[in-house]
Chain A
Amino acid sequence: MRGRRLLLFILVSAASLGSQGAGAASAEASLTEIFEAANIAASRGDYRSAVANYEVLVEAGVRDPDVYFNLATAYAQSGDYPRAILSYERSLTVRPGDDKAEENLRAAERALEEKRAEAEGEAMIQRSSSAGEAIYGRFPEDGLAYVLVAANVTLFGCLAWMWIARRRAPWIYTLLAASSIVFVFSAIGLGQKAGIFRDGPRAVALGDHVSLREGPYPQAQIRGQARGGDRGVAVDRDRDFVKLRLVDGLEGWAPASAVGLIDLDESVH
């Protein structure tokens, strides 16, 4: 009797696992088809269709740098430079040091500046660039985490060795100093990547003129304006409004649809 129950349990479990695996495989195939369809549309110059398909992938939870790159390129080709900047930034966040993405990001910024300078005589895009970003820009977040763990093990291993051993060789001091430096470097880098030095996820203004208001409602008084492509930090959220703090310090509530978060999975405080 017990043997039959066990057999039934194994069969049911196997069937359940099999159906889950098949579902996952078909989902992957479907995503691949959407990606290929988007690529074909982009290659034919049908950027609207390409953007729609790439956006479906992003909404489906795909956080792939190549998808962001293609989405950004499709936006750039269709002249929507702020959204192109947003997607290139996302691509670089997932895969730092991607030269082509950096090159395209600068090209999109230049194109937006020139377009605006031609129309208005001068153009200004607020862009955040700190020493931290300059130093750690090309280091992947997970790589820094693993380096931190390795440096941590080495550092405390050296300290323990020095505590236990009666005779201290010169190399142990060298190793201790090196591991301390690497530990500090990777800890600061990880903090930079994790956003502990800023008040919220990084954001980009998407509309040509985005009104920043006193409160999170459409009738609130306007404090100032953000221009498309301006960088900032989303410091708060209230229903359909996001409190955006631009890099020049101007802060106000903007419709969530007019602000794109670079750090897509980072919650607004």
Chain B
Amino acid sequence: MTRFLMLALIWFGALFWAATASAQPEVTVTLDATPTEARVGEMIQLEVRVRVRGGRVQSLELGDLRKYPELQIISHQTVRPMQFSFGFGSGVQVESSLAEIYVLQPTAAGTFDFAPAVARVDGKTYQSEPLTLVVRPSMGISPGVDDDVDLPSVAEEGELSGARFDQHAFLRTVVEPKEAYVGEQVDVTVYLYTRLRLAPQSVTPGKPSLDGFWVHDDPVTSLHGQTAQVRGAQYRAYVLQRSAAFPQRTGELTIGPPTVTFDVGSTSLFDPPERIEREGVPVTVEVKPLPQPAPANAVVGRYDIRAWLDRQDVSTGNAVTLRVDASGVGNVQDLRIDLPPMAGVRALQPVIRDEQRFQNGKLGGTRSWEWILIAETPGAHTVPPLRLVFFDPKTKEYGSASTEPLTFTAVGPAKPAPPAIAPADTEPRQPSAVFGPIRMYSALSRGQAPVHQRPWFAWVLAFPPLLFVLVILGSSTARHRERRSTTTGAVQRKLLRSAENALRSDDPRAFYDRIVGSINHALDSHLGQPVAGLPHAELRARLAGAGFDDDLLERVINELEGADFARFAASGVNRDEMERCLERTETIVERIRRSSRSAS
């Protein structure tokens, strides 16, 4: 029944289809550069992109790029992610994106104005916003904060720190600081110095080994070259790798030599590019223990800590969530907080989330703990203050942060506790903020048939139309009866009933009135004209003309004459005579009706 109704309405879908089929495509054209201001020799990523929904890209042009030979095209990539969408009501929808990504290296300073990029989609033209690139002259500085100190000039014959010098290309590892406390951040940066014309997309760096360190990489997404003077020669220096390394033990820790391979561009079309390999030198870091006396569980960094409960009142046996956030500078993955045992409260294993980020070159972030606390006994329960002790390498002093005590109240009778969950023996969690977060609560509902698939649904849906049909039928019957009650037969019956009532109430005058009325009404219906008031001779002639047989004719006339007489001499009529008169009248009326039917 349900499906039948739905299919009957399918044409509505056609309306949707017609509406969407005529829709215009949605087009977005963008022209962006990263960065929009750079120095000569630095890399600029220029991206022109068109996103289309419901149409097809015919062309995408950025004409001004050829106008500027000062912007050397280092690489060019075309990316076409695309989605097709088909389905009822919408026809075919294509959601596509075409992107042209250029890596440019300016060779001269200046301002480069780009007219809007032009895309043609389904015969129509769409434009982006214009773009301006500003290129400033190179300052000829060396990369790294300590390059002026560490890079010897050509006149000096000293050893180049963290590097094995090569006149064409070499790797250099810069470590800051070279002497650190255990757990303190050490910045490790690997540079490639080269005088060769390398192809940036071919550069494949190999990470140095960092045994004894916990490492968090600050990813290098593109190569940005800067000019550096080394021993009188001009080099291009590129950052290949940048990491925050946290020493995990004291003593002398060695950072292994980095490696790199890259292609050097050929001078003609027929010469293959030359592959260059380089290896750097190991660098050592002196790691000191924390100043004594060191408090237990002290970590390195600077942190604030705060805690809160998701509710203050709970039924006994139910849970509250305790959330603790520790935020600051340092390796948040070193942070440990142990929840002390609380009487009458069972704590599940905490869910720990880390959010790490670089700020001004220093790694920091937030570590969050989420404990589910189950109140097993009624009453007030207090979460004691939670304390975090840290050593700040900047001030070389210990500090601490702690939370306020938190209280919640359990009401209701105590409930038996379910068995505790065994902690999972797993590998360390990889932080990610792209998906999730994991939902800690679920109704764990089972699969149930949808309402429209349950047996009662069809009946419920069919009930109103069925009821409507019954209403129509009932109403029609009532109206038919009403109409029928106004017909001849009904009037006839009413008159005879009325005569019967007059007989019962011993009212001869009224009785004979009804008798005369009843016979006259039957004759009126038969002849189609009124007969009341006609002389009996005239009536006899009309009835004879209408085909009444002699017997019926005589009976009708006699009965009318008798009734007329009795009406005016009512006192002389007895009850038996009236009953016989009623029977005779009923017979006469019935015979008149039958003769009417046979005539029709």
Chain A positions within 8 Å of B, measured between CB atoms, are 28-29, 31-33, 35-37, 39-46, 49, 57, 61-64, 66-67, 69-70, 72-74, 76-77, 84, 104, 107-109, 111, 113-114, 117, 121-135, 141-142, 145-146, 148-149, 152-153, 155-157, 159-160, 163-164, 184, 187-188, 190-194, 196-198, 247-249, 264-265
Number of A-B contacts (CB under 8 A): 236
CA distance A49 to B446 in the complex (A): 22
Q: Which of B169-177, B337-345, B419-427 participates in binding chain A?
A: B419-427
Closest 7 CB pairs of A and B: A45-B429, A130-B87, A46-B426, A131-B89, A156-B464, A63-B447, A191-B6
The listed residue (A28, A64, A132) touching B88 by CB distance below 8 A is A132
Within 8 A of A (CB), among B416-439: 418-419, 421-424, 426-432, 434-439
A selection of 27 A-B contacts at a CB cut-off of 8 Å is: A33-B418, A33-B421, A35-B442, A40-B348, A40-B349, A40-B423, A43-B351, A43-B352, A61-B446, A66-B442, A70-B436, A122-B82, A128-B87, A130-B88, A130-B89, A132-B88, A146-B451, A149-B461, A156-B468, A187-B6, A187-B9, A191-B6, A192-B88, A194-B3, A194-B453, A247-B84, A248-B84
CA distance A191 to B16 in the complex (A): 15
Whether the pair B86, A248 counts as a contact (CB closer than 8 A) is yes
Q: Which of B73-81, B247-255, B301-309, B393-401 participates in binding chain A?
A: B73-81
Closest CB of chain A to B80's CB: distance in Å? 4
Q: Are A64 and B81 also in contact (CB < 8 A) when A73-B436, A77-B430, A132-B13 are?
A: no
Closest CB of chain A to B82's CB: distance in Å? 4
Whether the pair B85, A128 counts as a contact (CB closer than 8 A) is yes
CA distance A164 to B82 in the complex (A): 60
Whether the pair B467, A190 counts as a contact (CB closer than 8 A) is no
Asked whether any CB of chain A lies closer than 8 Å to the CB of B93, the reply is yes
Q: Which residues of B contact A39 (CB under 8 A)?
A: 351, 438-440
Closest CB of chain A to B135's CB: distance in Å? 29
Residue-wise interface mask of B (437-462) relative to A, using a CB-CB cutoff of 8 A (1 in contact, 0 not): 11111111111101111000100110
Asked whether any CB of chain A lies closer than 8 Å to the CB of B12, the reply is yes
Q: Which residues of B contact A32 (CB under 8 A)?
A: 418, 444
Q: Which residues of B contact A145 (CB under 8 A)?
A: 450-452, 457
Closest CB of chain A to B260's CB: distance in Å? 21
Q: Which residues of A contact B460 (CB under 8 A)?
A: 149
Q: Which residues of A contact B436 (CB under 8 A)?
A: 42, 70, 73, 76-77, 104
Whether the pair A152, B435 counts as a contact (CB closer than 8 A) is no
Asked whether any CB of chain A lies closer than 8 Å to the CB of B7, the reply is yes
Asked whether any CB of chain A lies closer than 8 Å to the CB of B596, the reply is no
CA distance A180 to B17 in the complex (A): 21
Q: Are A152 and B461 also in contact (CB < 8 A) when A130-B87, A142-B451, A184-B12 are?
A: yes
Whether the pair A129, B3 counts as a contact (CB closer than 8 A) is no
Whether the pair A133, B87 counts as a contact (CB closer than 8 A) is yes
Q: Which residues of A contact B13 (CB under 8 A)?
A: 131-132, 188, 197
Q: Which residues of B contact A37 (CB under 8 A)?
A: 421-422, 424
CA distance A193 to B452 in the complex (A): 10
Whether the pair B457, A63 counts as a contact (CB closer than 8 A) is no
Whether the pair A31, B20 counts as a contact (CB closer than 8 A) is no
Q: Which residues of A contact B452 (CB under 8 A)?
A: 141-142, 145, 148, 190, 194
Asked whether any CB of chain A lies closer than 8 Å to the CB of B353, the reply is yes
Asked whether any CB of chain A lies closer than 8 Å to the CB of B537, the reply is no
Count residues of B near A (Cβ-Cβ below 8 Å): 74
Q: Are A66 and B441 also in contact (CB < 8 A) when A107-B435, A126-B84 are?
A: yes
Asked whether any CB of chain A lies closer than 8 Å to the CB of B475, the reply is yes
Whether the pair A197, B88 counts as a contact (CB closer than 8 A) is yes
Whether the pair B81, A113 counts as a contact (CB closer than 8 A) is yes
Whether the pair B464, A247 counts as a contact (CB closer than 8 A) is no
Whether the pair A164, B471 counts as a contact (CB closer than 8 A) is yes
Q: Are A46 and B423 also in contact (CB < 8 A) when A131-B88, A131-B90, A188-B13 are?
A: no
Closest Cβ neighbor of B460 among chain A residues: A149
Q: Are A62 and B445 also in contact (CB < 8 A) when A124-B82, A129-B93, A247-B87 are?
A: yes
Whether the pair B2, A76 counts as a contact (CB closer than 8 A) is no
Closest CB of chain B to A128's CB: distance in Å? 5
Whether the pair B16, A152 counts as a contact (CB closer than 8 A) is no
Q: Which residues of A contact B427 (CB under 8 A)?
A: 44-46
Closest Cβ neighbor of B441 among chain A residues: A66
The listed residue (A35, A77, A114, A187) touching B81 by CB distance below 8 A is A114
Asked whether any CB of chain A lies closer than 8 Å to the CB of B472, the reply is yes
The listed residue (A111, A126, A135) touching B83 by CB distance below 8 A is A126
Closest CB of chain B to A47's CB: distance in Å? 8
CA distance A33 to B348 in the complex (A): 11
Residue-wise interface mask of B (212-234) relative to A, using a CB-CB cutoff of 8 A (1 in contact, 0 not): 00000000000000000000000
Whether the pair A265, B447 counts as a contact (CB closer than 8 A) is yes
Whether the pair A129, B80 counts as a contact (CB closer than 8 A) is no
Q: Are A41 and B446 also in contact (CB < 8 A) when A111-B434, A132-B88, A196-B6 are?
A: no
The listed residue (A107, A126, A148) touching B434 by CB distance below 8 A is A107
Q: Which of B12, B17, B418, B426 has the most CB of A within 10 A?
A: B426
Q: Are A132 and B87 also in contact (CB < 8 A) when A73-B438, A155-B464, A197-B13 are?
A: yes
Whether the pair A187, B85 counts as a contact (CB closer than 8 A) is no
Whether the pair A247, B86 counts as a contact (CB closer than 8 A) is yes
Q: Which residues of A contact B90 (CB under 8 A)?
A: 129-131, 134
Asked whether any CB of chain A lies closer than 8 Å to the CB of B145, the reply is no
Whether the pair B426, A41 counts as a contact (CB closer than 8 A) is yes
Whether the pair B87, A73 counts as a contact (CB closer than 8 A) is no
Q: Which of A131, A132, A248 has the most CB of B within 10 A?
A: A131
Q: A37-B424, A122-B80, A127-B83 are in contact. List 5 more A-B contacts (CB 8 A).
A: A29-B418, A43-B438, A132-B88, A163-B475, A187-B2
CA distance A226 to B61 in the complex (A): 32
Closest CB of chain A to B133's CB: distance in Å? 26
Q: Which residues of A contact B83 (CB under 8 A)?
A: 109, 113, 124-127
CA distance A130 to B89 in the complex (A): 6
Closest CB of chain A to B416's CB: distance in Å? 11
Closest CB of chain B to A76's CB: distance in Å? 4
Whether the pair A45, B87 counts as a contact (CB closer than 8 A) is no
Whether the pair A196, B424 counts as a contact (CB closer than 8 A) is no
Residue-wise interface mask of B (581-597) relative to A, using a CB-CB cutoff of 8 A (1 in contact, 0 not): 00000000000000000
